[in-house]
Amino acid sequence: MFVGTTEAASLLSISTQRIRVLLKEGRIQGARKINSRTWVIPLYKGTIKIAGRSRGPEPRWSSRRHCGKNTIHFNRNNIGINKNNKNTDLDVISVKRSSKTLAKGHEIEIHGPCRIVYKPEKPHSCGATVWIETLATATVFNFDGTVERVDSTWIWEEDEMWKINKKNIDELIKAS
């Protein structure tokens, strides 16, 4: 996953000007310029890698893992109740970001890449061992006809530009 300078600044809780200074100094690892104008910054495990310096004060940006990913859970208890009681319409899907539930429903459409995680040795904070993680926008449909759109904190307007993988970025760099 790649982000631009604005998204990188919001991830590290610093200004975009500071990001540009770090890019100019070559301290952001893996950052590349495409079209001789746009910076592309890779994410490593949801954060940006910045090379340290030998002198000066310690950096004040957030080094904790900051991630705007949405986590999609399936409620097994509600699935069982809906199966046994034919008239029950309990929500079986919930979309969460950290511990906050953003939407609940019975159907979901994910508008972008996602990954399915199975960790029986290290379950999620809610106890789930299988869940879906995505940075993309998701649309949740409910039994009563309501539709909720859950946006990621990193979604930006030019998402068509960022639907390119590393191979395409290398091709763009060679072309410019």
| In the chain, domain spans | 2-53+157-175, 70-150
Q: What phi and psi values does residue 87 have, to the nearest 5 degrees?
A: -95, 0
DSSP annotation of 139 reads E
97 and 46 Cβ atoms separated by less than 8 Å: no
Rounded to two decimals, the pTM is: 0.49
Report how far apart, in Å, the C-alpha atoms of 176 and of each of 2, 5, 28 are.
19, 20, 21
What pLDDT tens digit does each residue of the chain (176 aa) get?
788 888 888 788 888 899 999 998 888 888 988 888 889 998 887 778 888 777 767 766 654 444 567 889 998 888 888 888 876 788 889 988 877 888 899 899 998 888 898 988 988 877 888 999 888 888 999 888 888 888 765 433 333 334 444 455 556 556 55
Overall residue count recorded for the chain in this entry: 176
What whole-number distance in Å separates Cα of residue 31 and Cα of residue 101?
34
pLDDT at residue 161, as a whole number: 39
Q: How many helices and strands (H and E) does the chain possess?
A: 4, 11
pLDDT at residue 13, as a whole number: 81
State which amino acid sits at residue 55: R
96 and 79 Cβ atoms separated by less than 8 Å: no
163 and 175 Cβ atoms separated by less than 8 Å: no
Count of CB atoms situated within 10 Å of the CB of 114: 16
What whole-number distance in Å separates Cα of residue 76 and Cα of residue 67?
26
pLDDT at residue 60, as a whole number: 67
pLDDT at residue 163, as a whole number: 44
What whole-number distance in Å separates Cα of residue 51 and Cα of residue 100?
33
